[in-house]
């Protein structure tokens, strides 16, 4: 994929909850929270997810590193 200067990087918070039911008909919820670095086009539509981090702070550090390396802006 060709990286153009018009593309942007941003952080998207993901909050996923999966529910499963035991044999006793009890609900078991599994929560998964993470931050994802996403590549956006000129119009602001999501193109693809670049990476996933456990916390927002680590995602922000990785985001600034990637933006400097690729030479594109941030949202």
pLDDT at 52: 95
Q: Is residue 1 part of a domain?
A: no
Q: Is residue 12 part of a domain?
A: yes
pLDDT at 31: 95
Q: What global pTM score does this model have?
A: 0.81
38 within 8 A of 29, measured Cβ to Cβ: no
| Token pair 């078991």: residue | 28
The pLDDT tens digits of the residues spanning 30-55 come to 999 999 999 999 999 999 999 999 99
The rounded distance, in Å, linking the Cα atoms of 16 and 3 is 30
Question: Is the pLDDT confidence value at 9 over 90?
Answer: yes
Q: Is 29 helix (H, G, I), strand (E, B) or coil?
A: strand
Number of separate domains in the chain: 1
**29 is in which domain, residue-wise?**
8-74
14 within 8 A of 32, measured Cβ to Cβ: yes
Q: Is residue 3 part of a domain?
A: no
């Amino acid at each position: 994929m060709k990286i153009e200067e018009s593309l942007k990087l941003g952080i998207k918070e993901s909050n996923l909850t999966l529910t499963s039911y035991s044999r006793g008909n009890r609900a078991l919820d599994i929560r998964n929270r993470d931050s994802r670095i996403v590549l956006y086009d000129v119009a602001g539509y999501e193109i693809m997810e670049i990476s996933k981090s456990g916390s927002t702070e680590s995602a922000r550090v990785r985001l600034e590193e990637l933006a400097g390396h690729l030479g594109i802006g941030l949202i």
